[in-house]
Every structure is written in structure tokens, then in C-alpha cells.
Amino acid sequence: MKANNCGHEWIINLTQQEEESDLDTSLVQIIGDLLEVENFAIYINKHFSAQLPPTLINSDTRLEVLESNEALALLNKVTQNKIRVSRALGVVTTYVPVYYFGKVIGILLIETTTELAQTTTMLAVHILNIYANQLGLLHKSRLDPLTELLNRQTFDKKVIEIVSGKGFLLPRDDTNEKRRWYLAIADIDHFKRVNDNYGHVIGDEVILLVARLLKNNFRLEDYVFRYGGEEFAVLFQTKTEAQAHIALNRLRSNIAEYPFPQVGQLTISIGFLELASIDTVSSIVHQADMALYHSKNSGRNKVTAYSELEVNEEVTTDNSIELF
Ligand SMILES: Nc1nc2c(ncn2[C@@H]2O[C@H](COP(=O)(O)OP(=O)(O)OP(=O)(O)O)[C@@H](O)[C@H]2O)c(=O)[nH]1
């Protein structure tokens, strides 16, 4: 994709992208065209969190791929507005920061034999800024405005990414035992009563507090969604189903013990299952939903694994429960 001197076509192309993966592809192509070299790597922190490692977005890079902790350490060293150049053994390495609202969220590494022209690196900075702004907009569009959890529209995409093995955060490699992905669906019990007794403003406040408790209960790299009004979905990793059960039970009990202002005590019911690579989104949600239904039907304030259900368990329709 060629562009004139000020990179007008590139800017148009970047700002037209509505999908994160297309935005990444567009950036990689533009940086390749601008630099006219192939020895570059772009690491971007897709979580906008200084504690999580950035993702390499041009995975076919010719540069040596950094380990997660090396990439994170590098990002934390980089300063906004400061391009660094180092020379060793005839290789010039240029470090260009990517920043968003004053925070460094990524880095472009370029290896060349001679130093790049300043106009080229400055144009790279501008392009990376525009990329970061567009990424920020896409990121915001994935959030539920009340809770700032991921929204329902993002859920299907994330499940597909995970079951197809493209989830950009792979299981941690701190032990030999691989972590597996689980989906839990949690629903506030008798929430209608909260609205009826205390009004919608307090109802919204409860949803917000439950969302915070949920987020605090999981790791930064897990995904917590507001799935519906008072329903939440979590995609998270543990090594075994028993550990997943313990994590969810801890969440259930944290919520049951939490003193909700005005409302007092509240509970949630949860259904969950392990994700398998052959699953479709609708079958996964259906199974989590059946397990949730079982929790509701057996007294609420419970956690049920889909695997615990009798194979042929009949799910009778009860209008008091909103199914997905
Ligand atoms: N305040 C508020 N209420 C909401 C929101 N979204 C959904 N609701 C309400 O949530 C309630 C859900 O009620 P039901 O699905 O009948 O279930 P429930 O009362 O939670 O009972 P069980 O799920 O059977 O334990 C309805 O009254 C909805 O109006 C929201 O964003 N804010």
C-alpha cells in the first residue's frame, strides 16, 4: 500500500478498520511499506494494562521473538516521545514507542544496517499513534458502559478465538501442567426483587458491584463479560475442573458475604464447563446455561458443572428464569 509523503492513504486505511485483527494487518503492512525493510517487530499491549505482557502482532517477524517477560520489561523501560537507537555488531536497532493517552502501550523494533532517516521514524511515530487511537476506540466499543466489563457482542468472538487456539494469551508456562479454558455463566438470584423493592438506580449499583467482585475474583488475563442484564460470563483458565469449581465457589461465597448498600445480602447462581476445541459457541452457552439452570433449580446460591448433570437430565421450562 503506497502513500504520499505525509502518509495520507495510510491514515485513511488505519482509521477505516473495525476489527482488531484487520487493524493489526493494516499496521504491519504500512510499517513494512514505510520502512522498506522486513526486519521489524511490533509488540502491543492489547489489554492496555502495564502488568500484562504485550503481543507480537507480526508473528512472521524476522527478528528474534522476545519472551513475554522480556517484552513486558522492554515496554516498561520505554518512554513516551523518545526514540532510542542502539548499535552493535553492525546492526542498528531503533526502538519506537507506541503510546495512547500518555501511556506506552507498545513498541516497534527495527533492525537495519544504517540509521533510519528522522522523517521516516517520525512518520512511524505518527502512524503508531493513529493505530493506538483506533485500537483504543475498538477497545472501548467492546465494553459495557455501566460495568466496563466486556460486552455481549465481544463474547462470541472471544470464544471462537479460544476454541480455535487463537486466544492471544496462551496458558502460562510456569508449570508443565497446561491450563484449560472454562466458561462460567453467573446470574444474580432474584434480582427482580432488588429492582422492585429499591428501584432501578440501586439495581444498577448492585450490577456494578457484582461486576467489580467478579473482576477481582479472576486473573487480569481472564475475560469477564456482562452477558445480559444481570447475567455475567467469564472465560478463565485453570488446570482442572476441580480448581475451576473452587474458584467459582469462592466467588459465589464472596458475593453471598458482601454487604450490598441498602439491599444487604444477595447471592448468585453459576453454571460452568470446560471448553473443547470442537465446541460451537451456541453449544457451549447452551451447556453452561443447563448447568446454571440446575443451580437455580436446586435452591440458588450454587455452582454446578455441566459434567455433573445427568446425561439425560430433562430441563423443564420454568418461566421464572430467563434463559439465554
Ligand atoms: N436495574 C437493572 N435491572 C435490570 C437490568 N437488566 C435487567 N434487569 C432486570 O433484571 C431482572 C431479571 O429478573 P428475572 O430474569 O426474572 O430473574 P430474577 O429475578 O433475577 O430471578 P432468578 O434469576 O430466577 O433468580 C428483571 O427485572 C430485569 O428488568 C439493568 O441493567 N439494570
Whether ligand 1 lies within 6 angstroms of the CB of 320 is answered as: yes
**pLDDT band at residue 220, thresholds of 50, 70 and 90?**
confident
Q: Which of 85, 114, 141 is the last residue of a domain?
A: 141
220 and 293, same domain (yes or no): yes
Residue 302 has φ and ψ, to the nearest 5°, of -140, 160
**Does 223 have pLDDT greater than 90?**
yes
Kindly indicate the confidence band of residue 221, based on its pLDDT and cuts at 50, 70 and 90. confident
The angle, 0 to 180 degrees and rounded to 10, between the axes of the packed helices 118-141 and 20-35 is 180
CA–CA distance, 79 with 96 (Å, rounded to integer): 9
The answer to whether residues 277 and 137 belong to one domain is no
Domains in the chain: how many in total?
Answer: 2
Note the pLDDT tens digit of each residue in 121-171. Answer: 999 999 999 999 999 999 999 999 999 999 998 999 889 888 877 654 444
Residue 107 falls inside a structural domain: yes
The verdict on 203 and 281 lying in the same domain is yes
pLDDT tens-digit series, residues 159-199: 988 887 765 444 455 555 678 999 999 999 999 999 999 99
191 lines ligand 1 (CB under 6 A): yes
User: HSE of 33 in the Cβ direction (CA atoms, 13 Å)?
Assistant: 15
Distance 230 CA to ligand 1 centre (A): 6
> Which of the 8 DSSP states describes residue 311?
T
Same domain, 174 and 52: no
In a domain, 54, yes or no: yes
Strand pairing partners for 55? 44
Residue owning grid cell 548499535 = 87
Q: State pLDDT tens for residues 91-122.
A: 999 999 999 998 899 999 999 999 999 999 99
DSSP classification of residue 171: P
Residue 156 lies in a domain: yes
pLDDT score of 319: 43
pLDDT at 323: 38
Residue 168 and residue 281 in one domain? yes
Q: Are residues 115 and 164 in the same domain?
A: no
Residues 156 and 137 in one domain: no
Does the residue 146 lie in any domain? no
Tell how far CA 304 is from the center of its chain: 25
Question: Backbone dihedral region of 168: left (phi > 0), alpha (psi from -120 to 50 degrees) or beta?
Answer: alpha
Q: What is the pLDDT of residues 34-61, one digit of tens each?
A: 998 889 999 999 888 888 889 999 999 9
Q: Which among 185-189, 216-220, 309-313 has the top mean pLDDT?
A: 185-189
Is residue 274 situated within a structural domain?
Answer: yes
pLDDT, greater one: 3 or 14: 14
CB atoms within 10 A of CB 249: 13
Q: How far is the CA of 193 from the centre of ligand 1 (A)?
A: 8
Same-domain pairing of 298 and 163:
yes
Same domain, 296 and 161: yes
Share of the chain above pLDDT 90, in %: 72
- Structural domain harbouring 179: 152-308
**Would residue 127 count as lying in a domain?**
yes
Where residue 225 sits, what CATH number does that domain have?
Answer: 3.30.70.270
Task: Using the predicted structure, report yes or no on whether residue 68 has a pLDDT greater than 60.
Answer: yes
What is the pLDDT averaged over residues 293-311? 94
- Ligand 1 pocket test: which of 195, 198, 200 has the largest number of ligand atoms within 8 Å of its C-beta? 195
Of the residues 141, 175, 202, the one at which a domain ends: 141
- Same domain for 186 and 103, yes or no, is no
Active site (annotated) includes residue 322: no
**Considering the chain, what is the average pLDDT of its residues?**
89
Q: Can you give the pLDDT at residue 316? A: 47
Q: Is residue 47 part of a domain?
A: yes
Nearest CA owner, ligand 1 atom 32: 204
Instruction: Report pLDDT for 16.
Output: 95
**Domain check: are 273 and 126 in the same one?**
no
Last residue of a domain, one of 93, 120, 141: 141
CA of 6 to the centre of ligand 1 (A): 53
* Distance (Å, whole) CA 204 – CA 136: 26
All three cell numbers of 132, joined, read: 493506538
Q: Which atom of ligand 1 is closest in space to residue 200's alpha carbon?
A: 1
pTM: 0.80
- Residue 324 pLDDT class (50, 70, 90 cuts): very low
133 lies in the same domain as 171? no
Sheet strands side by side (includes 103-112): 55-56, 40-44, 103-112, 91-100, 84-88
CA-nearest of 118, 96, 113 to 105 is: 96
Residue 2 lies in a domain: no
